[in-house]
Amino acid sequence: MARPVAVVVVVVVAAFLAGLLTSEIAAEIAQNSADFYNLGRRRLPQQSLCLELIEPSGYSCSEHKIQTKDGYLLGLQRVSSRSGDLRTQLGPPVLLQHGLFMAGDAWFLNSPEESMGFVLADQGFDVWVGNVRGTRWSHGHVSLSEDDKNFWDWSWQELAEYDLAEMIHHIYSITNSKVFIVGHSQGTIMSLAALTQPDIAEMVEAATLLCPISYLEHITAKFVLRMVNMHLDQMILAMGIHELNFRSDWGVNLLDSICDGHVDCNDLLTSITGKNCCFNNTRVDFYLDYEPHPTSTKNLHHLFQMIRKGTFSKYDYGILKNLKLYGQLKPPSYDLGLIPKSLPLLMAYGGNDDLADVEDFRHTLKELQSTPELVYLENYGHIDFIVSIKAKEDLHDRVVGFFRSWGKSSSS
Q: Which of 6, 142, 130, 136 is nearest to 67 (CA)?
A: 142
Catalytic pick among 60, 138, 155, 185:
185
Number of domains in the chain: 1
Residue 314 counted as domain residue: no
DSSP 8-state symbol, 368: -
- Collapse the DSSP code of 269 into the 3-class scheme (helix H, G, I; strand E, B; otherwise coil) and give the result: helix
Amino acid identity, position 288: L
Instruction: Measure the CA–CA gap between 259 and 253, rounded to whole angstroms.
Output: 10
Residue 272 counted as domain residue: no
Residue 31 counted as domain residue: no
Cβ density class 137-159: b for 16+ within 10 Å, e for less: bbbebeebeeeeeebbebbbbbb
Residue 184 counted as domain residue: yes
Residue 353 among the catalytic residues: yes
Query: What pLDDT score does 15 carry?
Result: 42
- Whether the CB-CB separation of 75 and 105 falls below 8 Å is answered with no
Residue 220 counted as domain residue: no
Residue 32 counted as domain residue: no
Q: Is the pTM of this model over 0.85?
A: yes
Judged against a pLDDT cut of 60, whether residue 14 lies above it is answered with no
pLDDT tens digits along 87-123: 555 689 999 999 999 999 999 999 999 999 999 999 9
Residue 29 counted as domain residue: no
Catalytic pick among 105, 126, 316, 353:
353
Catalytic pick among 98, 302, 382, 396:
382
- Collapse the DSSP code of 261 into the 3-class scheme (helix H, G, I; strand E, B; otherwise coil) and give the result: coil
Report cis status (omega within 30 of 0) of the bond before 292. Answer: yes
- Whether the CB-CB separation of 209 and 361 falls below 8 Å is answered with no
Domain that holds residue 113: 49-214+334-407
Q: What spatial distance separates the first Cα and last Cα of the chain, rounded to whole Å?
A: 48
Q: Which of 372, 343, 378, 344 is nearest to 358 (CA)?
A: 378
The DSSP line for 64-83 is EEEE-TTSBEEEEEEEE-TT
Query: What pLDDT score does 22 carry?
Result: 38
Q: What share of the chain is helix, strand, coil (3-state, %, to 5)?
A: 45, 15, 40
Residue 239 counted as domain residue: no
Residue 185 among the catalytic residues: yes
pLDDT tens digits along 302-342: 999 999 999 999 999 999 999 999 999 999 999 999 999 99
User: The domain spanning residue 164 has which CATH number?
Assistant: 3.40.50.1820
SS (H, E, C) 198-222: HHHHCCEEEEEEECCCCCCCCCCCH
Among 31-35, 70-74, 174-178, the range scoring the smallest mean pLDDT is 31-35
Q: H or E stretch including 184? A: strand 179-184
Phi, psi at residue 214, to the nearest 5°?
-130, -30
Instruction: Measure the CA–CA gap between 361 and 121, rounded to whole angstroms.
Output: 29
